[in-house]
Structure 1
């Protein structure tokens, strides 16, 4: 690993010619080479070549330090945030029906509107805020606030209060998909970027946890009621216990995030803020703690010059926010990438809830038509499909690290296979087919979804990563809101949503082919 020295003082005039001093080609640890200095690596080159040069030095240093126990801790602690996001979504889906029997609301899908409203505002607040106030504050506070309101939701005395607490719990959890990937990525050596895809296993794990709670509780007649006329709090405590138990679990995870690792600001966030001294100190502290080499010095960074401001005139202003949005379109190629990303998140935002959020209704209807109706079979099938879904991101993690596929074609394959099984699912006629197809779809769907989660932060510039990712997930949440009204005025127990999902996955596959960036073998900026 070459060290950049004071010989680069002419960087402002001749940076392109000096790039060879730090554009090394290290092995990524799995038999492929990282293409340093490629088009994607030089995302900042045409806008701010000094920032581009400094980013290369930081990436070199992260590769030099390599994988440590800190990264392992981040994988688990950030994974809690992934799990919390899907946990809150799943909780409202599996408890709304029982709560509606007790409260008898005029709009039965009110909780679904509440959870997606909370997720939408949360992802925008925490996502955009992370580019302005930093990753650390949002990382420490978001999960804790979500857990508190999730526990309180179990004690809600009315439908309106329940919807309010669900929305607040979703607000806290909503930013985690943005924060956790950004933080993890900005500490990772280039050889381990594929782990972002593997992190999506936490998303699937949350559905297993919810199913573990619901299966025994909802199979007990003493904890659930079946008719609105006789439903009271006393004979319908099951859904409250589900909120209590899962809220307590999220609270425990949030405490672990605060105590197991004391997170500092990521080096790339500090770099684009212009704080070279803290960048060097942070990386040297990590290297010292884990007995790793670190050749980066403050002199080597400062010798490259001062970066151009990528922010507004005032840190807490609309101009600051607008600067981050503009930064996502600073080149034609990046603009195309950003637009296709947001389109893909919009499409999956409708397809995913149509399948997963309303899956209990569909499984129940298919179970009835195949001779397996009742709470036991519904939740058994839900558990099986949830467990199978965990393995989708694991396979995706392997596929996206193959040169012949990369991230883009892993998504294409995942989307097209999912589409095929969605169409086939409408022909289910036996209990065995019902379980098998729901499990296969959960598996293949998460190949696409898990890869999209990882791909998004990888191709966004670090200065605007949280903003771009936040808006992408916000597009997803908007479509989740729309799905609530689709469910309210449509028949989710019919096969129509399945056909809609299949068509949407065709569009997602086309968008994946058109993505201009392929992160395989390239460093995230």
Structure 2
């Protein structure tokens, strides 16, 4: 979330204007099954042969009888949400359920109902319904038989058969049939298995490290945005002639342009080149150009460096939110919203550092201001650059970051994804993963689709010439870029995407207007301001500190059963819009600080939930792209909004101020209206 406005006119306007805030169902239909319900005799024979082979493999499995074991129970996502980037997970799942669970036996479907022939022209919808009905019928019958055979003294022991390839334990652990959903695609079923592994490991060492390091990305997001606002006055003194009388607008424009381009480029990069290198590059580039900006000897050079600095920072929110989401267990996803706790901390730390350097090492005015007399803003940038470099060192040298298994699955690298899950389990000192490549193959067999042999593909690629490799890489890159069409894969997905875009545009439009024109609004209403250094920094603390509590409140709100993500965003965005209208009654410095704090509280509350919700709603192959595009549109709106506000008649300053506030609040009201039209909520849903 961008920094809110503060009582200092010049520093505040620059600071607020430099904000740095920031599934789809697989579009290719599965092959249909022609003879699902009534296979031919030849098909039945083939199916029986496969079943015999499967049964022979199963002799290596373990059948164990237990009592009082917990039952793993996972609801299946509704069929009208085929694109949903998650699968519903029962709140009373095995991780939190106590007492005895009902007897349940899991077995594979009988050969008589397996798909035996493929017909690509068959109706996908009807086949889905047949698969689901057949699967449920088989499961109910096997559960009933097991319950009858295993019943002892009413509740009886429970028999759990573990498939070959799975390490499902007999004490309530997940099995293949707990996760497998015949109404979903092969890619979605694989993703559900990986998500189940993350849920099983829980919030352990690796997940906490990911959360903290991604939180540091949020931290530097507003650390640098606040810095450019605080040093604007000193820059205007030192480069007075170059800035046409102290106008630092080009610096703000360069930084904002960099933020916009960075959000778009890194949003795509996180889905094209992977999470890992994007995770490294944002902090590395920020550190290099941040330190270099402190040594700029001209205003033009400073603007160029600020543009590259903004470019790297612009990708932080899409990347860090996506990475955190994919490594957290389902019941801890509120921590994605809690990442925004680091943003007001970044503002406070930056303000403290600037307060230590700028008053002591700065010119009093532009008259005779030289570099030697005005080193305070440079020391500030050097310090912030070193902090950013330390974060990069922590990410690259100290922490061993593994590529996201969800990203690897989207690229078809199943074996590598499973190896990484196993590696994370070792880091967490957790039991080995339950699911293996055999489970992926079994899912493909049940769905009647072909599972690609990853090792065979690798072997074939080793024989390629350099030209063939280059052509293949170019084709793969083009396919990944065109994955953005997934955002409009069907009517429901298109509806969600349009709602998200409207929300980001209205959100950025509103707080940009309020922040950019705040000094003018206060002058028009006759509010006398104390602009002393001590008062200015005191007010920063009063305004931004409540944002920490707002983020914590937002992280709690999204887990309320009847509220969830959707209605928490509706309520918080409506309150944010109302706070803009209330600015019309400001007539004193105390009121200015109070309404600043109130607006920033609701802004922080809303944006913390919004930034967590967007990556949840999309599948892994376009998760970063979706977040990056939404952020890009929002930042463009933030650039256009002041131009629209300039069209108001300036002959009556007080009326102009009111018109600007009405424009900010009115456009922001589009957020709750649009979000109320979302078709579903992602609370408690497992990622795809």
Q: Is the 8 A contact 1:422 1:501 kept in 2?
A: yes
For residue 53 of structure 1, the aligned residue among 182, 186, 189 is 189
Q: Is the 8 A contact 2:645 2:660 kept in 1?
A: no
SS at match of 2:232: helix
Residue 63 of structure 1 and its aligned partner are, at CA, apart by 1.4
Q: Is the 8 A contact 1:350 1:476 kept in 2?
A: yes
Task: Give, in whole Å, the separation in 2 of the partners of 1:244 and 1:224.
Answer: 15
Residue 497 of structure 1 and its aligned partner are, at CA, apart by 4.3
For residue 414 of structure 2, the aligned residue among 276, 288, 312 is 276
1:255-294 alignment, distance < 5 Å = 255-293=393-431, 294=433
1:52-201 alignment, distance < 5 Å = 52-104=188-240, 105-106=243-244, 108-201=248-341
Task: Give, in whole Å, the separation in 2 of the partners of 1:111 and 1:19.
Answer: 62
Task: Give, in whole Å, the separation in 2 of the partners of 1:8 and 1:456.
Answer: 41
Q: Is the 8 A contact 1:93 1:358 kept in 2?
A: no
SS at match of 1:514: coil
Residue 266 of structure 1 and its aligned partner are, at CA, apart by 0.6
Q: Is the 8 A contact 1:109 1:488 kept in 2?
A: no
Residue 355 of structure 1 and its aligned partner are, at CA, apart by 3.9
| Residues 1:299 and 2:462 aligned together | no
Q: Is the 8 A contact 2:272 2:481 kept in 1?
A: no
Task: Give, in whole Å, the separation in 2 of the partners of 1:512 and 1:201.
Answer: 23
Residue 324 of structure 1 and its aligned partner are, at CA, apart by 1.6
Provide structure 1 residue ranges, at least 5 long, that are not aligned to the other structure.
23-36
| Residues 1:469 and 2:605 aligned together | no
Task: Give, in whole Å, the separation in 2 of the partners of 1:273 and 1:82.
Answer: 27
Residue 237 of structure 1 and its aligned partner are, at CA, apart by 2.3
Task: Give, in whole Å, the separation in 2 of the partners of 1:503 and 1:432.
Answer: 25
Quick one: structure 1 residues 179 and 59, their matched pair in 2 at CA, closer, same or farther if it must change by over 3 Å? Answer: same
Task: Give, in whole Å, the separation in 2 of the partners of 1:265 and 1:460.
Answer: 19
1:415-454 alignment, distance < 5 Å = 415-454=573-612
SS at match of 2:361: coil
SS at match of 1:523: strand
Q: Is the 8 A contact 1:337 1:517 kept in 2?
A: no
SS at match of 1:262: coil
More deviation, 483-492/165-174: 483-492
Residue 195 of structure 1 and its aligned partner are, at CA, apart by 1.1
Hey, what does 2:677 align to over in structure 1? 514
SS at match of 1:77: helix
Q: Is the 8 A contact 2:192 2:687 kept in 1?
A: no
Task: Give, in whole Å, the separation in 1 of the partners of 2:625 and 2:546.
Answer: 32
More deviation, 91-100/341-350: 91-100
Task: Give, in whole Å, the separation in 2 of the partners of 1:390 and 1:454.
Answer: 16
Task: Give, in whole Å, the separation in 2 of the partners of 1:513 and 1:101.
Answer: 48
Task: Flag the structure with higher helix content.
Answer: 1
Quick one: structure 1 residues 45 and 179, their matched pair in 2 at CA, closer, same or farther if it must change by over 3 Å? Answer: farther
Q: Is the 8 A contact 1:353 1:480 kept in 2?
A: yes
Task: Give, in whole Å, the separation in 2 of the partners of 1:276 and 1:367.
Answer: 63
Quick one: structure 1 residues 149 and 5, their matched pair in 2 at CA, closer, same or farther if it must change by over 3 Å? Answer: farther
Residue 302 of structure 1 and its aligned partner are, at CA, apart by 2.4
Residue 290 of structure 1 and its aligned partner are, at CA, apart by 2.0
Residue 201 of structure 1 and its aligned partner are, at CA, apart by 1.1
Task: Give, in whole Å, the separation in 2 of the partners of 1:400 and 1:515.
Answer: 15
Equivalent pairs, count = 499
Task: Give, in whole Å, the separation in 2 of the partners of 1:354 and 1:214.
Answer: 25
Residue 55 of structure 1 and its aligned partner are, at CA, apart by 1.8
TM-score, L = length of structure 2: 0.67
Hey, what does 2:459 align to over in structure 1? none
Residue 395 of structure 1 and its aligned partner are, at CA, apart by 0.5
Task: Give, in whole Å, the separation in 2 of the partners of 1:164 and 1:5.
Answer: 64
Residue 8 of structure 1 and its aligned partner are, at CA, apart by 10
Provide structure 2 residue ranges, at least 5 long, that are not aligned to the other structure.
1-71, 74-104, 119-126, 140-176, 445-449, 453-470
Residue 368 of structure 1 and its aligned partner are, at CA, apart by 8.0
Residue 375 of structure 1 and its aligned partner are, at CA, apart by 2.9
Residue 341 of structure 1 and its aligned partner are, at CA, apart by 0.9
Q: Is the 8 A contact 1:143 1:172 kept in 2?
A: yes
SS at match of 2:618: coil
| Residues 1:235 and 2:393 aligned together | no
Hey, what does 2:495 align to over in structure 1? 336
Residue 113 of structure 1 and its aligned partner are, at CA, apart by 1.2
Q: Is the 8 A contact 2:205 2:427 kept in 1?
A: no
Residue 322 of structure 1 and its aligned partner are, at CA, apart by 4.3
Hey, what does 2:483 align to over in structure 1? 324
Residue 129 of structure 1 and its aligned partner are, at CA, apart by 1.3
State the Cα deviation string for residues 91-129 of structure 1 (Å, max 9, x = none). Answer: 222223321232131463111111121112222222201
Hey, what does 2:568 align to over in structure 1? 410
Hey, what does 1:374 align to over in structure 2? 532
Q: Is the 8 A contact 2:513 2:660 kept in 1?
A: yes
Q: Is the 8 A contact 1:8 1:303 kept in 2?
A: no
